[in-house]
Amino acid sequence: MSKARSIAEHVIVAALISIVLIWGNTLYRQWSQYGIGEDAMAKGDAIAAISAYEASIHMYTPLSPLVERAAERLWQLGQQLEQKGDAPKALVAYRALRSSFYAVSSLNTPGTDWIARCDTRIALLVNTQPTR
């Protein structure tokens, strides 16, 4: 029994270490993508910023403040693009925000309030676009 218990303990420790390493790596990549988004925003590159913030949300890690920050930045970017009259890019920002939260859903869907806000803005923008 002692040998089986020792093996089980080693397996549990190895699993916990693996989980911590994966979580840490994902958190690091999340911070990296958020930083890329901030740099792109500073340069005025909306599409690169959207892509980076979206990737940051895709690197979802529980308890990370960056998920909410990246969501807020995407929302602000969509609002700014709308105010400039660039509805197509605003739609890209809102759709990226909405799809990011759908992409990280599992047993629950985080960001349901963001999804609802984006659905409203997307519907409004799509309905005001001229048909081709």
Read off the pLDDT of residues 25-47 as tens digits, 9 standing for 90 and up.
Answer: 999 999 999 999 999 999 999 99
- Domains in the chain (CATH in brackets) are 2-128 (1.25.40)
Q: Among 47, 63, 57, 71, which Cα is nearest to 105's?
A: 57
Q: What is the pTM of this model?
A: 0.86
Read off the pLDDT of residues 56-84 as tens digits, 9 standing for 90 and up.
Answer: 999 988 788 999 999 999 999 999 999 99
